Amino acid sequence: MKALITGVNGQLGKALLADAPAGWTCVALDRAALDLTDTDAIARMVDAEQPDLVLNAAAYTAVDRAEGEPDLAHAINACAPEAFSKALGNAGRLVQVSTDFVFDGARGHAYLPDDIRNPQSVYGASKAAGEDAAGDKAIIVRTSWVYAAGGANFVRTMLRLMRERDELRVVADQIGSPTWAQGLATTIWGLAAKDATGIWHHRDAGIASWYDFAVAIAEEAHAVGLLARIPSIHPIATSEYPTPARRPAFSVLDVAATRGVLGDISAHWRSNLRTMLKEEKALG
């Protein structure tokens, strides 16, 4: 069996490659190997490799920058999965990774896979369009707040700022769930093995605000020796930290269906954070 993995230099792409089950040959594709804005190149790649599975882990994820680059965000997040779907036809399956940002955050309790979407940003709208473009045979996996050792993410940004500053102010009224990339990769491979189709949700157990997450990062990083001291961290409202893109206030994903198919394999986000920080320390 052969899988194409896009975004292989990203944190999820690396995790998918590392977690590939026995019997799978993986073709690792970075930006240099495949330009996702070139739909003809996508068609040629699929035709040349004839994959059984495409794991589309690449995405335009610069949420605020997307407000000024809507065409580029749409090309990568919506046109690319459509091109993969068309090129695969009935010969292979597409796994399209999506986001909690397809929801508006107004619901107040966890979102089910079939709940009505109402994205509030260019990024969220482009990912919703990507879900539609992936087609009925695709596996669509929504997730949230992804991080991994060595990646570009909130955890590593906080570590840098915590070393540089004595005080930080972090938004406390946006609620979601941190997600370790390794656990997400395990779920994606598991859904592929089950021949699942449709929309599925994955996140780590538990919920948090960005402030809660930052406090945990400081405490756990200090415990493993990544921080010499814990800075003062103050909760603030979203209105005190305006950004170009609007973010959902409550974007927790209901994962009951996914866990029902794969079993309860997701650890609490704080436990996974601790594991990631130990990996981060090992990277030096």
Domain CATH number, residue 258: 3.40.50.720
Q: Is residue 196 part of a domain?
A: yes
Residue of 264 and 203 predicted with greater confidence: 203
Alpha-carbon distance 198 to 137, whole Å? 7
d(Cα 32, Cα 212) in Å, to the nearest integer? 37
In this structure, is residue 109 part of a structural domain?
Answer: yes
Per residue, what are the HEC states of the chain?
A: CEEEEECCCCHHHHHHHHCCCCCCEEEEECCCCCCCCCHHHHHHHHHHHCCCEEEECCCCCCCCHHHHCHHHHHHHHHHHHHHHHHHHCCCCEEEEEEEHHHCCCCCCCCECCCCCCCCCCHHHHHHHHHHHHHCCCCEEEEECCEECCCCCCHHHHHHHHHHHCCEEEEECCCEECCEEHHHHHHHHHHHHHCCCCEEEECCCECCEEHHHHHHHHHHHHHHCCCCCCCCEEEEECHHHCCCCCCCCCECCECCHHHHHHHCCCCCEHHHHHHHHHHHHHHHC
Q: So what's the pLDDT on residue 144?
A: 98
Q: 86 Cβ partners below 8 Å, 6+ apart?
A: 43
CA–CA dist 124, 238 (Å, integer): 18
Q: Is the pLDDT of residue 88 over 80?
A: yes
CA separation for the pair 13, 17 (Å, rounded)? 6
Cα(256)–Cα(263) distance, rounded to whole angstroms? Answer: 10
Which of the four pLDDT bands, split at 50, 70 and 90, describes residue 264?
confident
Mean pLDDT for the chain overall? 97
Q: How far apart are CA 203 and CA 215, in angstroms?
A: 19
In-domain check, residue 72:
yes
| 63 Cα distance to chain centroid | 12
- Catalytic residue, chosen from 111, 123, 147, 211, is 123
Is 233 part of a structural domain of the chain? no
CA dist 268 and 5 (Å) reads 27
Q: For residue 47, give its domain range.
A: 2-148+179-205+252-266
Looking only at the bridges linking them, the beta strands covering 139-143 and 93-99 are parallel
pLDDT in tens, 191-200: 999 999 999 9
Range 30-57 average pLDDT: 97
Residue 123 annotated in active site: yes
Rounded to a whole number of angstroms, the CA Rg of the chain reads 19
Determine, yes or no, domain membership for 126: yes
Q: How many structural domains are present in the chain?
A: 1
User: Does a structural domain hold residue 235?
Assistant: no
In this structure, is residue 276 part of a structural domain?
no
What is the average per-residue pLDDT within 221-231?
97
Residue 88 token pair: 């695969």
What is the percent of the chain where pLDDT is above 70? 100
Structural domain contains residue 218: no
Q: Say yes or no to pLDDT of 37 above 90.
A: yes
Q: What separation in angstroms does the CA of 239 have from each of 50, 111, 120, 156, 246?
A: 49, 24, 16, 24, 11
- What is the CA 26 to chain-centroid distance, rounded? 20
Tell whether the model's pLDDT for residue 265 goes beyond 80.
Answer: no
